[in-house]
Amino acid sequence: MTRPLRVVAFGGGHGLAASLKALRLTEPALELDITAVVTVGDNGGSSGRLRAERDAQLPPGDLRMALSALADDTPGHQTTVQLLQHRFAPVGKQDRRAAAASSAPQSADAASRAPEGDAANTSPRSGNAGIEEHAETAGETGKAAEKAGWGGVDRRIASVGGKHDPLAGHAVGNLLLLGLLELMDDPVEALRHAGWMVGAKGQVLPMAEHAVGIEADVRGGDPARPEDVVTVCGQHAVAVTPGHIEALRIDPPAPPACPAALEAIGAADWLIFGPGSWYTSVLPHLLVPELAAAIVASPARRLVTLNLAADNETAGLSVADHLAALHWYLPELRIDVVLADAKWVGEPDPVHRAAEALGARLVLAPLATADGSPRHDPESLGTALVPVLGDDR
């Protein structure tokens, strides 16, 4: 009997969720053993508040989204997913339940109209039903938090209409994961238990054992000085910054990688990167030294799924530039397949050449949703993945 294909998918936010849903949908044609390795730099929204206020070991938002994407389709498990994705609206809302339900698609899955990836998850005008927008415009507390790299989180965010409302804006799943992490003191065990709760068809792991900071040198990051390079701190700030990112770092520069993730990479048949926000979801994995070494040493084949459209952090970058960035941050990386949407990729020749420079062949297929928005359709992506992942079976 043929063993399952071991697939490790890297990323975070909406992009990774779309990839994981697509992999699940290949089940009738392929038997997969799926591992999601999730970035741990998120410091915006609910995750940022929990990092700032509770010193959370890991930001739970992207982990929650990955678990939800892998959840079993049975009604009981899907009810649990709805619970995990439920976001508390302010007490002052006339109908808090309706308000939370209306905000859930933006904050919880790829139904958002914004481009996929962390930019969709952390934009001041997405998710949390406007709660995070309040944080972005708050006073000195928010400015101090931004300076410290906490994404402009204002701890007064929980005060709505003069009433203390500490739950407003939090997803239930974020609080659940925070509790499991504190209870078990082992992120792998905590995530395994959460996976059991939703009947996850695979495992979810953090890329590192503790949260990291993300910072970038950005030319034009300060609109008042468009030619100057400034340092932008925090995943949220990097995701929404104007200007051109010239260098990306994580802090600390060599965090301990999750041992279970290293083991999964070493045993994998396929490693999948993207889609997702390039600088805050995809590239951070290549900046963890232990993780990068494991990726290079793995006998697995490697696939890159390209985004459909640029977001704030990649404004001005061509599709080929996205591939060049992978080589810039990990020169030893070799890719086997680059998967892109035939309509959104634009002129294919530069992308063909960029793929060949990484040792890859370019596969073009319809991947986007039918409504014309720049989002991957999990069913279409899954259909495209079947012949690629299963070509040696």
> Model confidence over 259-293: pLDDT tens digits?
999 999 999 999 999 999 999 999 999 999 999 99
CA 209/CA 186 separation, integer angstroms: 9
pLDDT for 93: 67
Mean pLDDT score, 150-155: 40
Range of the structural domain that residue 106 is part of: 46-198
* 33: its two tokens: 């053993």
Mean pLDDT score, 111-139: 33
Residue 26 has what DSSP assignment? T
Phi, psi of 230 (to 5 degrees): -120, 155
Please state, in angstroms and as integers, the Cα–Cα distance from residue 104 to each residue in 98, 110, 191, following that order. 10, 10, 22
Split into its structural domains, the chain has a count of: 1
pTM of this structure? 0.85
* 136: its two tokens: 């972005």
Give the residue with greater pLDDT, 122 vs 161.
161
pLDDT for 272: 98
Residue 131 forms part of a structural domain? yes
| β 213-219/244-251 pair status | antiparallel
Q: 352 exposed, middle or buried (CB, 10 Å; 0-12, 13-18, 19+)?
A: middle
Mean pLDDT score, 127-139: 30
* Torsion, CA 138, CA 310, CA 292, CA 233, rounded to 10: -20
How many Å separate Cα 367 from the centre of its chain?
Answer: 18
The band of 391, judged by pLDDT with boundaries at 50, 70 and 90, is confident
pLDDT for 96: 52
pLDDT for 115: 44
The band of 345, judged by pLDDT with boundaries at 50, 70 and 90, is confident
Mean pLDDT score, 103-114: 35
Residue 270 forms part of a structural domain? no
Mean pLDDT score, 206-227: 93
pLDDT tens for 239-253 read 998 889 999 999 999
Residue 13 forms part of a structural domain? no
Cα–Cα nearest to 313, from 251, 249, 208, 240:
240
Asked if the peptide bond before residue 275 counts as cis, ω within 30 degrees of 0, the response is: yes
User: What mean pLDDT, rounded, does the chain reach?
Assistant: 84
CA 50/CA 211 separation, integer angstroms: 11
CA 14/CA 43 separation, integer angstroms: 16
Residue 338 forms part of a structural domain? no
Beta carbons of 17 and 109 less than 8 angstroms apart:
yes
pLDDT for 163: 62
pLDDT tens for 16-72 read 999 999 999 998 899 999 999 999 999 999 999 999 999 999 999 999 999 999 999
Residue 67 forms part of a structural domain? yes
Q: Using alpha carbons only, what angle is made at residue 327 by residues 326 and 333, rounded to the nearest 5 degrees?
A: 90
Mean pLDDT score, 349-373: 94
Residue 317 forms part of a structural domain? no
The band of 226, judged by pLDDT with boundaries at 50, 70 and 90, is confident
Residue 211 forms part of a structural domain? no
Residue 136 forms part of a structural domain? yes
Mean pLDDT score, 298-323: 90
